[in-house]
Amino acid sequence: MGTVAIIVNPAAGKDIRRLVAEASPVSDASKVGTLRRAVIGAMEGGATRVIMSGDRRGLAERAIDRLEASAEIEIMDAPAADSAHSTREAAALCRSRRVGAVVVLGGDGTHRDVAKGWRDAPIVALSTGTNNVFPRPHEATVAGEAAALVATEKVPLAAVTHRAKTIDVQLDDGENDLGLVDVVLTNDRFTAARAVWSPDGVREIVATIAEPGSVGLSAIAAAVAHQDRRAPGAVHVRCDPNAASRVRAPIAPGLYASIGLMSHHHLEAGDSVTFEGPGVLSFDGERDRTLGADRTATATIRIDGPRVIDVGRALAWASGRE
Amino acid sequence: MALDDDILFDMHRRMLRIRLFEEAAGRLFEGARMPGFIHLYVGQEAVAAGVCAALRPEDQISSTHRGHGHLVAKGGDLNKMMAELMGKETGYCNGKGGSMHICDLDLNMLGANGIVGGGVPIAVGAGFANKYRDDGAVSVVFFGDGASNIGAFHEAANMAAALKLPVLFVCENNEYGEFTSRDRSMAIADVVERASGYGIPGTIVDGMDAAAVYETALEALEHCRSGAGPSFIEAKTYRFYNHHGVQTLGLPYRPDDEVASWQARDPIDGIEARMAEAGIMTADQAAAVRAEVQAAVDEAVEFGESSPMPNPARLLDDVYTEAAQ
């Protein structure tokens, strides 16, 4: 009882959007500090055990260096190489270890990897990446505390969480994948530098979150429709660089672009959209899968993703104010 | 983004030229048919090919002691390179430089460099000249993770940033400086964090993916050409062979499974697979390019072996230059 896990993505906040947009680099030193504060918060919240993801650069080891620990701290074995795969494995390990709550440090892409490893993980989503639509800004100290309050069952999980949506993608070759915020088909042929920063190649967007204030490709959807993260459903947008109807949207930090729109419509949970190749599928802002000519992928909206802990409500509940 | 077929074919050929040239050189070295020392670039081809495919002819590059790949990628003559490695009169430096001093100023390749970090201030000097001449050229410096621990790197990076010089820093982080792992010689894992300290914008790229390197280099070069000052790319990569020579597995300083995991991400296999998947190049076409490049490499070996040794009477030629008037 009372086990909190903390998963950090060492690669988050370092991609090409620091060159092609105005995104700030997120240093390892900053991640170490954030991790340390999350551990301190988790111990304050009563966690008896804290499991931290391991990596090749020793972020967790640095974070707990000379920390007076009231909980048992365990660092997972470092993977052979730091990758999206290692984040997924860390999340899967948390599930098998019956962790009570997971603090996730990263951007939209990191949270997607966690969901791929543990679909309905109880998480505190903490933004330290580039595009942060799914995770919200919180001070890590209280984020760690909120996770511990849930993990120790001082606060009931169901009372302070909402169920995140997913966009499940079934490819025609039998592979499957998922996005949490947006799945986008672009005109690219290669995944190359992965991030998407040019609006011209964007053909279709499916977004589960289209809220005012979004930054990233889902901001294009937010410019034409509203889709709250807590409400079931999604937005499907078709783009055309030559269309007369245009919107401006912040598609990366500090980067506004004009996008031509062909159509948009609302999707209910359970509805599907079929993407047709050739093109590249990007998930939560990263080009990740090539789709050859004559190939298809079907995206379906579901509402059985991670259980997202509301930090403010968890703390309020614990203090008897909710 | 601008990854058309021509660029993909071009990068594939550049990488194969590096790979097959170096494997031939490695065999000659192993068979004691080549004097001196060679540091093979095999494994890191996507970095040199991706960056150089994005360059204009007037852009300069400076290189490292592991420099064959950079010169090949910039368009180096395989015959003159092989002859130089063999210490022959017909080589790039008339046989007096060898592997670590190979250069071609006509191609704006400012030289390999036997001193770790030595190429960095040279590139920054070229960047100063570019800015002074206002000719739109960018100078690119390839260097390793180990070089980023050297004072010359820090002084040069600071100067490039302070003077807003058009210099692209390309750190090929292959995780080892000679036989010492990066985590035993540095307290940070990402060299790009050092760029931030000098006010240079930078990013990390998968150095095993030529398309990713090319796309990133185009953007970084555009930043430099715009007058905004230097930019920085850290390419995560790996050398497949030993620090020098051709041994791969069974060495105590790199775990065999680590070597194997990087070899499984071979950049040439990678681009061939992706081009095949996208219907751009068939396996037969790839094999034909390989055969063509192998023939050029075989010819370079033949050229080198049949070339004369340098004439001792010319020992002091090219050592000193005439004083400027």
Question: Between chains, do B204 and A14 touch, taking CB under 8 Å as contact?
Answer: yes
Best mutation target, B184, B191, B203, to test chain A (most A CBs within 10 A): B203
pLDDT at B306: 98
From the list A25, A201, A292, the residue facing B278 with the nearest CB is A292
Name residue A128's amino acid. T
Give the closest-approach CA distance of A306 to chain B in angstroms: 29
Which residues of chain B neighbour A17 with C-beta distances below 8 Å? 203
Tokens coding B59: 């852009």
Taking a C-beta distance cutoff of 8 angstroms, is the pair A165, A191 a contact? Answer: no
In chain A, where the domains are located: 3-164+305-318, 166-302
Taking a C-beta distance cutoff of 8 angstroms, is the pair B201, B234 a contact? Answer: no
A56 touches chain B (CB under 8 A): yes
Question: Between chains, do A190 and B216 touch, taking CB under 8 Å as contact?
Answer: no
List residues in chain B touching A: CB distance below 8 A.
1, 3, 183, 188-190, 192-193, 196, 201-205, 209, 211-212, 214-216, 219-220, 223, 231, 257-258, 261, 274, 277-280
Residues A200-218 pLDDT 10s: 999 999 999 999 999 999 9
Residue B1 confidence (pLDDT) above 90: no
Query: What is the interface size between A and B, counted as CB pairs within 8 Å?
Result: 85
SS3 B170: strand
Question: Between chains, do B1 and A192 touch, taking CB under 8 Å as contact?
Answer: yes
SS3 B210: helix
pLDDT at A100: 98
Residue range A42-69: mean pLDDT, rounded: 96
Question: Between chains, do B211 and A190 touch, taking CB under 8 Å as contact?
Answer: yes
Which residues of chain B neighbour A189 with C-beta distances below 8 Å? 3, 278, 280
A10 touches chain B (CB under 8 A): yes
Question: Between chains, do A189 and B201 touch, taking CB under 8 Å as contact?
Answer: no
Residue A125 confidence (pLDDT) above 90: yes
Other CB atoms within 10 Å distance of the CB of residue A246: 15
Q: CATH: 3.30.870, 1.10.357, 1.20.120, 3.40.50. Which one for A3-164+305-318? A: 3.40.50
A188 touches chain B (CB under 8 A): yes
Domain that holds residue B227: 5-306
Residue B133 confidence (pLDDT) above 90: yes
Residue range B278-300: mean pLDDT, rounded: 97
pLDDT at A322: 64
Tokens coding A203: 């053909």
Question: Between chains, do B189 and A10 touch, taking CB under 8 Å as contact?
Answer: yes
A278 touches chain B (CB under 8 A): yes
Taking a C-beta distance cutoff of 8 angstroms, is the pair B29, B20 a contact? Answer: no
Taking a C-beta distance cutoff of 8 angstroms, is the pair B159, B122 a contact? Answer: no
**Beta-ladder partners of A106:** A127
Give the residue, B36 or A120, on which the prediction is more confident. Answer: A120
Give the pLDDT band of residue B227 (cuts 50, 70, 90): very high
Give chain A's largest Cα–Cα span. 62
Question: Between chains, do A193 and B212 touch, taking CB under 8 Å as contact?
Answer: yes
Per the domain annotation, does B320 fall within a domain? no
Which residues of chain B neighbour A16 with C-beta distances below 8 Å? 203, 205, 215-216, 219
Taking a C-beta distance cutoff of 8 angstroms, is the pair B155, B176 a contact? Answer: no
State which residue of chain B sits closest to A289, comparing Cα positions. B274
State which residue of chain A sits closest to B184, comparing Cα positions. A57
Question: Between chains, do A16 and B203 touch, taking CB under 8 Å as contact?
Answer: yes
Give the pLDDT band of residue B321 (cuts 50, 70, 90): confident
Q: At what angle do helices B78-85 and B5-30 cross, to 10 degrees?
A: 20
Q: Give the distance, in angstroms, between the CA of residue B170 and the centroid of all CA atoms in the same chain.
A: 10
**Beta-ladder partners of A88:** none
β-strands A176-179, A122-127 pairing = unpaired
CA distances (Å), A244 to each of A232, A239, A247, A262, in order?
A: 31, 11, 10, 9
Assign residue B211 the CATH number of its domain: 3.40.50.970
Per the domain annotation, does B68 fall within a domain? yes
In angstroms, rounded to a whole number, what is the distance separating the alpha carbons of residues B86 and B95?
7
| Cis check: omega of the bond before A278, within 30 degrees of 0 | yes
Residue range B129-148: mean pLDDT, rounded: 97
In angstroms, rounded to a whole number, what is the distance separating the alpha carbons of residues A153 and A148?
8
* CB burial readout A220-230, b (16+ within 10 A) else e: bbbbbbebebe
Give the closest-approach CA distance of A79 to chain B in angstroms: 11
Residue range A165-184: mean pLDDT, rounded: 97
In angstroms, rounded to a whole number, what is the distance separating the alpha carbons of residues A54 and A75?
6
Per the domain annotation, does B325 fall within a domain? no
Question: What total of structural domains would you count in chain B?
Answer: 1
In angstroms, rounded to a whole number, what is the distance separating the alpha carbons of residues B76 and B70?
9
pLDDT at A174: 96
Tokens coding B167: 């210099």
Question: Between chains, do A193 and B223 touch, taking CB under 8 Å as contact?
Answer: no
What does DSSP assign to residue B184? H
Taking a C-beta distance cutoff of 8 angstroms, is the pair A59, A31 a contact? Answer: yes
Which residues of chain B neighbour A279 with C-beta distances below 8 Å? none
Q: Quick one: three-class SS letters along chain A?
A: CCEEEEEECCCCCCCCHHHHCCCCCCCHHHHHHHHHHHHHHHHHCCCCEEEECCCCCCHHHHHCCCCCCCCEEEECCCCCCCCHHHHHHHHHHHHHCCCCEEEEEECHHHHHHHHHHCCCCEEEEEECCCCCCCCECCCHHHHHHHHHHHHCCCCCHHHHEEECCEEEEEECCCCEEEECCEEEEECCCCCCCCECCCCCCEEEEEECCECCCCCCCHHHHHCCCCECCCCCCEEEEEECCCCCCEEEEEEECCEEEEEEEEEEEEECCCCEEEEECCEEEEECCEEEEEECCCCEEEEEEECCCCEEECHHHHHHHHCCCC
Contacts of B321 (CB under 8 A, 6+ apart): none
Which residues of chain B neighbour A190 with C-beta distances below 8 Å? 3, 211-212, 274, 278
Other CB atoms within 10 Å distance of the CB of residue A160: 24
Give the pLDDT band of residue A85 (cuts 50, 70, 90): confident
Residues B50-80 pLDDT 10s: 999 999 999 999 999 999 999 999 999 999 9
Best mutation target, B5, B182, B215, to test chain A (most A CBs within 10 A): B215
From the list B188, B201, B212, the residue facing A28 with the nearest CB is B188
Q: List the one residue out of A272, A303, A310 whose CA is nearest residue A120.
A: A303
A289 touches chain B (CB under 8 A): no
Per the domain annotation, does B314 fall within a domain? no
Residue range B198-218: mean pLDDT, rounded: 97
Q: Which CATH class is domain A166-302?
A: mainly beta
